[in-house]
Amino acid sequence: MPRLLPFFRRMRTTLLASEGNAAMEFGILAPMLATIFVPLVDLGMGFYQKMQVENAAQAGVQYAMAHGWNSTAIQNAVTAATSLSSLTASPAPSQSCGCPAGEAVTAATCGSTCAGGQSVGTYVTVSAQVVYRTLVPYPAIGSSLTLSAQSTARIQ
C-alpha cells in the first residue's frame, strides 16, 4: 500500500489539473467551426456573384433605354458592368414588339395598336450568365453552378 500512495497522489493531481483545457477544447471545436464556416463563406460568395449577374443584365437594359437598340453595344455594356471575367451576355439580347398585359408582355405586330388603345412598344430582353465554381464540391450541386439573370424593358 505505501508504494501505491504516490501513484494515487500523482493520478489525483493529474486529474485535477486544468492546464491545456482551452487547447483541447479548441482542438475539438476547430474542425466543427471550419465545417460550418467554409460553406457559409461559399454561400455568401455565390449570392454576391448572383447579384452581380443581375446587375449586369439590368445594366444592359439601361444601356438600351438610353442609347437604343444595338446588340453588340448592349452585350459590351453587360460584360463591362462587373468585374466577373467569365460573365457573358448569353443568350444574346433580343428585341421584340408587344403590348403590356399585367406583369407580362404579349407579342404584337410592330407599328400596330394594343387593345387598350396605346401603340405597341418595343421591348429589349437582356440575359447574363456566369459559371460559379464553389470552394469545395457539394453532393447536391457539385463543384460548379450556372448563375443567370434576365431583364426586360420597353425602349420606345
pLDDT tens sequence for the chain (156 residues): 677 788 888 888 877 777 777 888 889 999 999 999 999 999 999 999 999 999 999 999 999 999 999 999 999 999 999 999 899 999 999 999 999 888 888 899 988 998 888 889 999 999 999 999 999 998 888 899 999 999 999 987
Q: What per-residue confidence (pLDDT) applies to 142?
A: 86
Q: Is the pTM of this model over 0.85?
A: no
With beta carbons less than 8 A apart as the criterion, state whether 64 and 153 touch: yes
Q: Which residue has the cell 500500500?
A: 1
Q: How many CB atoms lie within 10 A of CB 129?
A: 19
Q: What per-residue confidence (pLDDT) applies to 98?
A: 92
Q: What per-residue confidence (pLDDT) applies to 8?
A: 83
Q: What per-residue confidence (pLDDT) applies to 1?
A: 60
Q: Which residues contact 79 (CB under 8 A, 6 or more apart)?
A: 56, 87, 88, 89
- Distance of alpha carbon 102 from its chain centroid, rounded? 28
